[in-house]
């Protein structure tokens, strides 16, 4: 877990500035790299059954015990592993069991960052900062490396798993609604709606590489009879018509203002006159805590490096919605996802 200084360390390093606070970032960076390596080695899965000796664990993950021990000890210090005082055996902590091994955890999300996003970041960050855009977007890179698309969508789905149950509680959806999830990729939000409302039928509209994971999500949740997938480009291809609800989750950050206005107009045309549009994203201007401000800043920089875009200001997004013929009715934020907000809009009368 992130290194949390104790009260004395916070006083000396952060308030009195008597010791180098940036050391925390150094340790944090090393922690991310170490966690990513442990996931690549399937280290936590190798400990899932029971506490295990170093020698047995090393054999399971095909490592030298002398090389594996420092990795395990750092993971102990970070709170991902524990070491039994009497036997010296290693075991997963509750943090690891819940968030890295559980089916609804974020292990796949962290793996995607470690294997794809951060290597892309290293190759493109300086160019993006110096010129305002990367040499190519992350999505263009994925198209050139299609074997990585599944890892990407599994990672996106893992991130959505954390928020989906809370988000669907905020959605005012008729029990028999027709729903379109525009750019829905992995389909987790559409599936969550179908799980919550037995009469809901949803269409996930996204590019072809998302199909396999989206249908898998529906099948594993037992709602595949009410979830369909349409492959297409939502900027030019027909979205259909007469939908009661449209979801546009984690999409607007990939587009500039005019592009978003055009997309909102396309979605408005696909809705019934009394339909509802829900827009979920990390918006600038919504953060109220230190963690949420840092999160929005981090994802804003990430959008620049990976897409040549920004975390849009929430007032700008509201203005684009109005330009496209929508009226924003409400906005929600979430404790489980700092910096994330949900805009609720409906066609203006």
Kindly report, residue by residue over 87-145, the tens digit of the pLDDT: 999 999 999 999 999 888 899 999 999 999 999 999 999 999 999 999 999 999 999 99
Given a cut of 90, is residue 51 above it in pLDDT? yes
Q: In the chain, where does the domain assigned CATH 1.10.10.10 lie?
A: 7-101
Give the Cα separation of 244 and 73 in Å (integer): 53
Give the Cα separation of 37 and 114 in Å (integer): 8
Given a cut of 90, is residue 65 above it in pLDDT? yes
Given a cut of 80, is residue 336 above it in pLDDT? no
Nearest to 234 by CA among 251, 214, 218: 251
The more confidently predicted of residues 46 and 333 is: 46
Give the Cα separation of 328 and 319 in Å (integer): 9
Fold classified for 7-101: Arc Repressor Mutant, subunit A (1.10.10)
Q: pLDDT-derived band of residue 333, with 50, 70 and 90 as boundaries?
A: confident
- For residues 139, 339, 167, 96, the Cα torsion angle rounded to the nearest 10 degrees is 80
Please report the sign of the dihedral spanned by the C-alpha atoms of residue 174, residue 177, residue 182, residue 186.
Answer: positive
What is the per-residue pLDDT across 270-317, written as a single tens digit (0 to 9) for each? 999 999 999 999 888 777 778 778 888 888 899 999 999 988 999 999
Specify the pLDDT at position 220: 94
Specify the pLDDT at position 44: 97
Mean pLDDT of the chain: 93
Give the Cα separation of 314 and 2 in Å (integer): 29
Given a cut of 80, is residue 167 above it in pLDDT? yes
Given a cut of 90, is residue 228 above it in pLDDT? yes
Residue 157 burial by CB count (10 A; 0-12/13-18/19+): exposed, middle or buried? buried
Specify the pLDDT at position 1: 59
Specify the pLDDT at position 346: 95
Specify the pLDDT at position 187: 96
Given a cut of 80, is residue 201 above it in pLDDT? yes
Q: Which CATH superfamily is domain 107-347 in?
A: Vaccinia Virus protein VP39 (3.40.50.150)
Q: pLDDT-derived band of residue 181, with 50, 70 and 90 as boundaries?
A: very high
Give the Cα separation of 198 and 205 in Å (integer): 21
DSSP collapsed to 3 states, the chain: CCCCCCHHHHHHHHHCCCCCCCHHHHHHHHHHHHHHHHHHCCHHHHCCCCCECHHHHHHHCCCCHHHHHHHHHHHHHHCCEEECCCCCCEEECHHHHHHHHCCCCCHHHHHHHHHHHHHHHHHHHHHHHHHCCCCCCHHHHHHHCHHHHHHHHHHHHHHHHHHHHHHHHCCCCCCCCEEEEECCCCCHHHHHHHHHCCCCEEEEEECHHHHHHHHHHHHHCCCHHHEEEEECCCCCCCCCCCEEEEEEECCHHHCCHHHHHHHHHHHHHHEEEEEEEEEEEECECCCCCHHHHHHHHHHHHHHHHHHCCCCCEHHHHHHHHHHCCEEEEEEEECCCCCCEEEEEEEECC
The more confidently predicted of residues 168 and 291 is: 168
Pairing of strands 271-282, 227-231: unpaired
Q: pLDDT-derived band of residue 269, with 50, 70 and 90 as boundaries?
A: very high
CB-CB contact of 319 with 264 (8 Å): no
Residues 6+ apart with CB under 8 A from 117: 138, 302, 306
Q: In the chain, where does the domain assigned CATH 3.40.50.150 lie?
A: 107-347
CB-CB contact of 300 with 127 (8 Å): no
What is the per-residue pLDDT across 237-257, written as a single tens digit (0 to 9) for each? 999 999 999 999 999 999 999
Given a cut of 80, is residue 69 above it in pLDDT? yes
Measured between alpha carbons, how far apart are the two ends of the chain, in Å?
49
């Amino acid at each position: 877990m992130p290194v949390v200084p104790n009260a004395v360390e916070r006083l000396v390093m952060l308030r009195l500035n008597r010791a180098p606070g940036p050391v925390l970032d150094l340790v944090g960076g090393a922690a991310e790299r170490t966690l990513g390596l442990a996931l690549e080695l399937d280290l936590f899965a190798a400990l899932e059954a029971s506490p295990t000796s170093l020698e047995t664990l090393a054999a399971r993950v095909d490592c030298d015990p002398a090389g594996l021990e420092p990795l395990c000890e750092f993971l102990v210090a970070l709170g991902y592993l524990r070491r039994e005082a009497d036997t010296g055996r290693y075991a997963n902590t509750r943090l690891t069991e819940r968030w890295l091994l559980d089916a609804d955890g974020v292990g796949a999300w962290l793996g995607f960052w470690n294997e794809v996003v951060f290597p892309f970041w290293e190759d493109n960050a300086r160019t993006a900062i110096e010129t305002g855009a990367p040499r190519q977007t992350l999505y263009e890179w994925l198209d050139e490396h299609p074997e990585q698309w599944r890892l990407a969508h599994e990672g996106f789905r893992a991130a959505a798993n954390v928020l989906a149950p809370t988000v669907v509680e905020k959605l005012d959806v008729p029990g028999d609604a027709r729903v379109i999830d525009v750019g829905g990729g992995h389909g987790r939000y559409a599936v969550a709606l179908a799980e919550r409302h037995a009469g809901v039928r949803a269409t996930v509209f996204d590019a072809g590489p998302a199909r396999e994971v989206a249908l898998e999500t529906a099948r594993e949740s037992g709602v595949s009879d009410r979830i369909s997938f349409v492959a297409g480009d939502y900027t030019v291809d027909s979205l259909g018509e007469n939908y009661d609800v449209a979801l546009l989750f984690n999409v607007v950050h990939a587009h500039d203002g005019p592009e978003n206005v055009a997309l909102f107009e396309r979605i408005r045309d696909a809705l019934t006159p009394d339909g509802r549009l829900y827009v979920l994203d990390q918006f600038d201007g919504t953060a109220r805590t230190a963690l949420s401000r840092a999160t929005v800043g981090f994802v804003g920089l990430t959008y620049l490096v990976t897409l040549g875009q920004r975390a849009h200001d929430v007032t700008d997004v509201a203005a684009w919605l109005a330009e496209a013929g929508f009226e924003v009715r409400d906005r929600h934020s979430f404790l489980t996802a700092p910096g994330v907000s949900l805009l609720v809009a409906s066609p203006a009368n």
